[in-house]
Amino acid sequence: MKDTIKNLLIQIGENPQREGLLKTPQRVEQSLRFLTSGYDMNVEDVLNDAVYEEKCDDMVIIKSIDLFSLCEHHMLPFYGKAHVAYLPDGKILGLSKIPRVIEVFARRLQVQERLTNQIASALEESLKPKGVAVVIEALHLCMAMRGVEKQNSVTITSSMLGGFKEDPRTRQEFLSLIR
């Protein structure tokens, strides 16, 4: 990868032998490996037996979870907040595991729509809850820095499964609680 990055520097008109760029190929490689580390993760390992039997059927929400990802079209960052809820059906999940599930999918080349659905589906599969809701609000640098150059545009995506999709009151309760 370092040779590819060195060649990229040459292709954009830079001198990879310049003092400030000498270690850039190594730093970019380390950065990309971290930003795409989700390919080496899976939900089962992340949950690590943190699903617990519990007689709880009230909505569980974790909101404003920071997320960072790379757009698969331009490999530029997008970042924002994820809001996640589920309706337990005899099982609950350790709270720190929800942000970790988000990381599994956010640390890959992504589109926000797929990311939202992957998080919801993973939680549905793992917990078998009565419902799952995921809303992501993100700013895409591929829209802010280039192309249309709209710096204040926020993209909002949602995935509603089970009770959140079927019951408008449940969906509305979740949406009002994350605002």
**Same domain, residue pair 12 and 57:** no
Query: What is the count of structural domains for the chain?
Result: 2
Q: Which of 83, 110, 112, 118 is catalytic?
A: 112
Q: Could you tell me if residue 165 is inside a domain?
A: yes
Expressed as residue numbers, the domain containing 59 is 45-178
pLDDT band at 64 (very low <50, low <70, confident <90, very high): very high
CA distance 8 to 32: 14
Q: For 133-167, what is each residue's pLDDT tens digit?
A: 999 999 999 999 999 999 999 999 999 999 999 99
**Same domain, residue pair 56 and 107:** yes
**Same domain, residue pair 157 and 83:** yes
Q: For 77-125, what is each residue's pLDDT tens digit?
A: 999 999 999 999 999 999 999 999 999 999 999 999 999 999 999 999 9
Does 83 participate in catalysis according to the annotation?
A: no
CA distance 57 to 90: 7
Q: Which of 54, 72, 113, 125 is catalytic?
A: 72
Does 71 participate in catalysis according to the annotation?
A: yes
Does 30 participate in catalysis according to the annotation?
A: no
Is residue 105 within 8 A of residue 119, CB to CB? The reply is: yes
pTM of this structure:
0.96
**Same domain, residue pair 88 and 132:** yes
Q: Which of 71, 83, 110, 118 is catalytic?
A: 71
Q: Where residue 135 sits, what CATH number does that domain have?
A: 3.30.1130.10
**Same domain, residue pair 19 and 71:** no
